[in-house]
Structure 1
Amino acid sequence: MHPRPIPLLAALLVTTPVGATEAELPAVLVQPADTLDPATLSTTRIDGADVDAVPASATDALGKRAVSIQATRPENRNTGIFVRGLGTTSFNDGMSGSVGTTLDGVHLARQGMFPLRLLDIESVDIVRTPALGGPGPATSAGGIHIRTRAPQWEDEASVRLERGTHGHEAYETVVGGTLVPETLAGRFSAYTQRRSGVVRNVFSGEDVNGGQHDGLRGQLLWTPSATLRARLIVERERLDDDCCAYSVARYSAASRARAAALGHTLLPADPLSREVAQDGSNRRRMDHEAATAQFEILLRDDTRLVATTGWRQWRFDSRSDLDGIDLAIAPRGGSHMDHRQWSQEIRFDGRLAPTLDYRIGAYHLQRSHRREGLLGYGPDAARWFTAGLDLPPLDDALLAAVLDGATVRTPGSQSATTQSLFGQLDWAPRHDLGLTGIVRYSRDRTRAETRCEVSGLQPLPALPGFSELAGQLRGALLGHDTRTQHRSRDDSLDASLRLHFEPRAGVELEVSASSGYKPGGVNAETVTGAVSPTFDAERSLGLEASAGLDLPRDGYLRLTLYRTEIRDYQALTYNPDSSPLIPTMNNITNVDAVRSQGVEIESDMALGERTRLALGAGYNDARYTDFRNAPCPPGSGVLYCDFSGKQMANAPRWTAFAGLSHHRPLANGGEVYGDIAWRWRSGFHGTTERGHGSHVAARGLIDARIGLRQRHWDLSLWAHNLTDEKHVTAVFALNGSGDYGALAGRPRTIGLSLTLAL
């Protein structure tokens, strides 16, 4: 059974006698229902204008104004989000993110649900410490909280058109305003975006990895009285791509030897080539539908009830050439996912005394999914895996029949429930001194079923020697029909304490300590050998000290020192003792202990009346402190290694950004403006096992824009990746045998944007 949303009964208890505009609402109701509280000095807020200045992916936009964040998106389903080197990709469907993400106060239970395009965004908050105060459940590493623009009472309508190189096209519209005077306002926003492929398939002569995605959002803001504010959001996103084909970063010695034995020429291994040689096609499709209801009810002066209900359905289908080369080894494969969730969060905010505020609340999240993986072998499979072996002469057709047509399906299902109670006290004994404490109890229950179904086997003759070979190949590559059921139970009591002090006007100091938590679960892949079907919860402890200085014209300077330790850190890797030919992939393992420590500095300052400069740099030393059972790099001849003391995967040591913007008014009332943004990160290993070919080199990207705006229109010329730097955005293991693929970043894209205010 998929979960269904529960009606919010509190909203039915409120009468609607008199409307009220936002200007007439009490201050406690003007604040958004999903406001993140408490916001620390290390929390970075990115304004919506900075997000959509230059067209880029939603994850790329995060690094333009924040350090210590790393996001990878080789494809939508397998999004990875890391803060201070802590986090994970979502290649295994049984794993949730260490970095929680919310959209308008609703938790996104899968990282692949992160928006494709940040449409009509008010702000993005990046939290770098274990989060307990919400919105959403507790996290072990931090959070990203996205807030969209709410309906306004003033009427507005705009259209944005984008055209650029590499077939980039995007169209966006926003319409909003008053529907019922002083009572009901609405807002509608929609976009569609297309792009051509930038990867050349030399086998077919086609350009691949292009596609289209679109989305829409409809909102209503209802203020029937001075004590009630309600917001309803309905939205949908859709993606349809001929993706994803990955350039080969490295061939293993076994793959090179097999290709040589067959007389087959492999395409040169070059992660930056943007070339593939595939005899099969790739396709992925995603549909994401959601509804959110936010209610804020003023119960008495300075006391309010905030309730947020969310429902989401996320479906993903992919079909691809799994062998990645122009031989029919595994030409058919892919995955299907149908995820549904609903959540309910209720908070009471109030004041116990003039110097003491409180917040208490409850949270419930119900989620479930059905999934299926598919792997189909072709006529070249048996020849490939036996190439170079000392075998007696065999008829090619007879050998091909061993695996040709064989199909491995891995259906599964999972349901999980998260429940929590939390309380927060904010004590301000003086105007320059504040103390915040949070306590949260979390309860997680998960149950799952995994299956393996082998079909399509051709009958084979009982020939001496051949029967044994066929049985060994089928056993090593196909496995056997299995069905398993498992449960996972976790409970956690966590707390945080933060001291805030302002020694003088414009100067702030903070110290904080917090524990965090991410539940364990059930491995969604079929596991063998030493890999456990279940994995333990992450438990973190974070310490942080920050100093902030306010600068003229709304500028600031923030410096943070931090250290976070996590026990039973959840990581994805391959299982080296599962199969001698293709070890099982994307298994979840618990690393005994990891730690992340470093320093961050971010600043925004005015350089005169018309120019602003934003700067940031972060040094992050993220290491495995106890990882003695780590899988060794494939091909090393050793199964398990001690990685204790090694740099963590997907954890660049350095990150930095810089942004310069300038505007100059014109005599006719218009304005000329321009901005340039640079973001950089150092290199890192993209996989846990640190195999040869898994390293991602450092890169620095520059975006720029120059434009002219008048009252009713805005025309800009922009460039994404202005210097056309060749770079890799993600690396992953093609199999457990040492072959690695890479997704090259998009080349320089130059275009025009025109926004018309109607």
Structure 2
Amino acid sequence: MKKTLTASAAIVALIIAAPYSAAIAQDAPDQAGQADQQEAAPRRLPSVSVTARKTSEDIQDVPLSVSAFDAEAIADFGFTDSLAIDDQVPNLEIKTFGGNPNIFIRGVGNNDFNATTVSPVSIYSDDVLQGLTGGQMMQMFDLERVEVLRGPQGTLFGRNTTGGAINFHSRKPGNTQEGYVRMGIGSYNRTELEAAATVIAVDGKLATRFAGKMVSDDGDRRNLYNGERANATDLASVRAITRYTPNDDVEVLWNIHYGKDRSDYQQGKPVGVINGGNVLGYVDPVPNDAKYINVNRTDNRHHADTWGTNLAVTWDFGDYTLKSVTGYEDVETDYLGDIDQSPLSLDELRFQQDGDQISQEFNLSYDGGGDLTWISGVYFLKEDFHYRTSGPLFGDVPSATLPLDAQSQRDTKTYAIYGEASYQLTDAFSITGGLRYTSEEKDATLDSLLTYGAFGTQPAGLTVPLIPETNRSDEWDAWSGRVLAKYEFGADSMVYGSISRGFRSGGYNLGAFFDPNEFTKVDPEYLTSYELGLKTTILDDRLRANMAVFRYDYTDLQVFTFTQGSSTANPIVIALENAADAEVSGFEGEFTAVPVDGMNLSLGIGYLDANYENYMSLIAGDLSGNRLPGAPEWNINFAGQQDFTIADRWVVTPRLEYVFVDQRYFDPNELEAISSGGSHELLNARLSIAPEEGGWEVALWAKNIGDEQYVVDAADLTATFGFIPTYYGPRESWGLEARIEF
């Protein structure tokens, strides 16, 4: 931790010093005049620009279901990483098992705890796909905005967006030399340091924005095995974006970034071993208190190194804009976890990822100021991914140790061409149509070995192949797209309707360990969405309401499940299979209001009815009618804050947030034992003080007030190991932070 603090302090020192090294003096604005203007003008809802259709638009003009957070909202909510936004977005669910994120939008997602299955929700950072699972858990710092696009995005974003897409946009360097430093302390010995600065090399032509962040804590759990803290955090990230504008028509953005994670592997509790214990008789001494864990593996680790670079070139010529985005990402992870979550050795595994990807996109858009606008493009992606699972199963079971070593390799090439056009039929009515063709090639290799002494019968050092090295290769192609209509009425209101189709590419069950027959191919899944929406801003820009209702026809969806095997040599059967179909329907509502000057209120409501219609699992039987994983029936979020001016000088802002998430399941078997244990509620608060003219802010914050214990992920291993590994959400925490702008 000391090394991380030292390195981060050095980074921050460089960032702080950078603007002054250029020795460029700038005139200060007339702060008194600005204060008079602010006092005279009532506060209204700010506009938010998004690029949900790959062109910049006000979110209220986009006929899609989109949630967005600008830099101010990100700071108010205290988002720290890419997984933290789910509580504040209706019908978005994010969970982790074994360090790998599982993301669901409107009940569409991936519940595989392995990193080998591609998610139907795509993550983008600065217009570059983050296709490698280990690279999707990013720290959030110095961001311009975050966008969550619900529903199939098959036209402009392509494959693997049947659920939707999440876009993170970093703050770019501007024409002003400025920056900030944010420091914080908190519960569990938490320290946080974040800084950013824009350095201008050539005025109006060349500038670079440097940003960095580090977070560390000792962990919010106590390990009864050794009496020490557990689930510690140790993260550090840096980023530099250079902007070159040789003239008014050309912009070049070069982004290079690096992230390091030296945290603990998150440990939970072995639910299901209260009475009688697991297969070795272990009984959890504090089964109802998630503050405590009891694991013998004290070197648990969640280590990751990610880096990447991308180059975006935009050229405006007349009514046309040509854009090129070239990206490279590299991810290496090393996770070591005590999966049995006990002081015994039953299931202690190491998970390693090593992958890289290169992508290239060209798009050409047209906007002549008339009735017709369009965009077209081509896309290429090459991805190489290696995954290894190793470690002893049944380690403390006499003469039954299974020293597993399973490795898989997946190589992917994707080609696509797309186009979308919008036409304004009247001043109020417009239509849009888009189509995309995708071709994909995949090569996969899998092998699994017992490396020594299986069942106490093999000579030490002998390798026993469970799955001999097996190769598979396939190609898929698919069409996706959408049609939509938009009707505007009043000054700032519209209704829209859309039909869209998306697909998730085919693949293989690379999580198989014991049986060659489990190394199966899955076909692409398809989703057709029907959506109606309303967006309106009324009451003199004091109330904004965005609502959508939808229905999904979901066919051949890819489902991950597992059950008990038929013998000791095959203790777990892992399956990735195509379910027949499912039906999902629901709605979202997002409401933002400024009832009086200085007050901001927001409310989000999501509802889902998501069930398998016809699903006869090859290993789990008839699952028809079961609820989809990651699909709580109701989810609600609320936030409210009020600015109070003290002595005509200080602005004090108390803020309160409330989150409700209904019961949801983590497995298609819909077993009650691994449900969330019912709904949960969270309460967060923040209190800040800043001068009216800005420049600095100090804030106190608290999260999960009342220390609600709630499950964020689980898996049923009772048939094999006699327990359910269960992971809990973050505990109650508080902190103090200060931000200084320069």
The question of a shared fold, defined as TM-score above 0.5 by the shorter chain, is answered with yes
Pair 699,294 (structure 1): closer, same or farther in 2 beyond 3 Å: same
Task: Please identify runs of 4+ aligned residues in structure 1 that moved more than 6 A.
Answer: 29-33
For residue 586 of structure 2, the aligned residue among 594, 598, 601 is 598
Task: Identify the residue that residue 319 of structure 2 maps to in structure 1.
Answer: 302
Deviations 1:260-282 (A, max 9, x none): 4xxx5554544735322435531
Distance in 2 between residues matched to 1:458 and 1:138, nearest whole Å: 40
Task: Identify the residue that residue 420 of structure 1 maps to in structure 2.
Answer: 416
For residue 440 of structure 2, the aligned residue among 437, 444, 466 is 444
- Matching of residue 564 in structure 1 with residue 552 in structure 2: yes
Task: Identify the residue that residue 21 of structure 1 maps to in structure 2.
Answer: none
Task: Identify the residue that residue 67 of structure 2 maps to in structure 1.
Answer: 44
Pair 518,31 (structure 1): closer, same or farther in 2 beyond 3 Å: closer
Task: Identify the residue that residue 497 of structure 2 maps to in structure 1.
Answer: 511
- Matching of residue 495 in structure 1 with residue 481 in structure 2: yes
8 Å CA contact retained: 1:624, 1:647:
yes
Tell me how far 1:485 sits from its aligned partner. 0.5
8 Å CA contact retained: 1:252, 1:739:
no
Task: Identify the residue that residue 10 of structure 2 maps to in structure 1.
Answer: none
Deviations 1:443-473 (A, max 9, x none): 111101111122222896xxxxxxxxx58xx
8 Å CA contact retained: 1:675, 1:704:
yes
Pair 105,555 (structure 1): closer, same or farther in 2 beyond 3 Å: farther
Distance in 2 between residues matched to 1:54 and 1:613, nearest whole Å: 13
Distance in 2 between residues matched to 1:614 and 1:666, nearest whole Å: 25
8 Å CA contact retained: 1:152, 1:177:
no
Pair 652,494 (structure 1): closer, same or farther in 2 beyond 3 Å: same
Structure 2 matches for 1:319-718, cutoff 5 A? 319-331=336-348, 333-351=349-367, 354-377=370-393, 380-382=396-398, 402-403=399-400, 407-457=403-453, 470=457, 480=466, 482-526=468-512, 528=515, 531=518, 533-551=520-538, 552-553=540-541, 555-577=543-565, 579=567, 583-584=571-572, 586-629=574-617, 631=619, 640-667=620-647, 669-696=649-676, 697-710=678-691, 711-718=694-701
8 Å CA contact retained: 1:33, 1:296:
no
8 Å CA contact retained: 1:508, 1:549:
yes
The unaligned stretches of length 5 or more in structure 2 are 1-48
For 2:161, what is the secondary structure of its paired residue?
A: coil
Distance in 1 between residues matched to 2:178 and 2:497, nearest whole Å: 44
Distance in 1 between residues matched to 2:381 and 2:447, nearest whole Å: 26
Task: Identify the residue that residue 714 of structure 2 maps to in structure 1.
Answer: 731
State the AA in 1 paired with 2:686.
Answer: R
Of all paired residues, the percent bearing the same amino acid is 19
- Matching of residue 95 in structure 1 with residue 114 in structure 2: no
For residue 280 of structure 2, the aligned residue among 256, 259, 265 is 259
8 Å CA contact retained: 1:296, 1:306:
yes
- Matching of residue 747 in structure 1 with residue 728 in structure 2: no
State the AA in 1 paired with 2:220.
Answer: V
- Matching of residue 197 in structure 1 with residue 219 in structure 2: yes
Distance in 2 between residues matched to 1:99 and 1:578, nearest whole Å: 34
For 2:114, what is the secondary structure of its paired residue?
A: coil
Deviations 1:53-81 (A, max 9, x none): 254542453235420100112453x1010
- Matching of residue 719 in structure 1 with residue 702 in structure 2: yes
State the AA in 1 paired with 2:583.
Answer: R
For 1:166, what is the secondary structure of its paired residue?
A: helix
State the AA in 1 paired with 2:319.
Answer: D
Distance in 2 between residues matched to 1:94 and 1:651, nearest whole Å: 22
Tell me how far 1:734 sits from its aligned partner. 4.6
8 Å CA contact retained: 2:564, 2:573:
no
8 Å CA contact retained: 1:63, 1:657:
no
Distance in 2 between residues matched to 1:524 and 1:62, nearest whole Å: 30
Distance in 2 between residues matched to 1:445 and 1:578, nearest whole Å: 34
Task: Identify the residue that residue 284 of structure 1 maps to in structure 2.
Answer: 302
For 1:49, what is the secondary structure of its paired residue?
A: helix
8 Å CA contact retained: 2:449, 2:464:
no
Pair 217,650 (structure 1): closer, same or farther in 2 beyond 3 Å: same
Pair 411,257 (structure 1): closer, same or farther in 2 beyond 3 Å: closer
Distance in 1 between residues matched to 2:616 and 2:358, nearest whole Å: 39
Distance in 1 between residues matched to 2:584 and 2:665, nearest whole Å: 16
For 1:50, what is the secondary structure of its paired residue?
A: helix
CA RMSD after TM alignment: 2.8
Distance in 2 between residues matched to 1:35 and 1:73, nearest whole Å: 32
Pair 249,379 (structure 1): closer, same or farther in 2 beyond 3 Å: closer
Distance in 1 between residues matched to 2:381 and 2:527, nearest whole Å: 22
For 1:426, what is the secondary structure of its paired residue?
A: strand
8 Å CA contact retained: 1:163, 1:752:
yes
Residues matched between the structures, number: 683
